[in-house]
Copies of this chain bind each other. A is one copy, B any other.
Amino acid sequence: MSATRDELFRALSDSTRRGLFERLCREGEKTVGALTERAGVSQPVVSRHLGILKRAGLVTDRQAGRKTHYSAQIGALAPLTDWTREMTEFWQSRFDDLEDLLQRMDQ
């Protein structure tokens, strides 16, 4: 069920969606109605955003009667931290190469 890296970045690019995800991280499982209360947008919009977060793997839903409970999947952030670490390593490695070069020039 792993979504694309692109899907993950895109899902997190909207502040309304990040807000929903953040509330689920902070407060745990919540229904669509509860999320709508403080989301600042209408219920259909919340549902649509939750769908996008779900396709990105950032949330899961649990049906209970006529209510749907959503919860954050913190592990879905892994590709993001991986990417960041990768970029940092690339950057650092160039730095190391430069150090090596300077050291060789020193000799």
Contacts and interface: CB of A to CB of B under 8 A. Distances in A.
7 contacts: A9-B15, A18-B83, A25-B88, A25-B90, A27-B94, A77-B84, A81-B81
Interface string A73-102: 010010011011001101100100000000
Interface residues of A, number: 25
A9 B12 contact: yes
Given A21-B87, A26-B90, A94-B26, A6 B12 contact: no
A69 B10 CA distance: 28
Contacts of A10: 13
A88 to B, nearest CB: 6
Contacts of A80: 80, 84
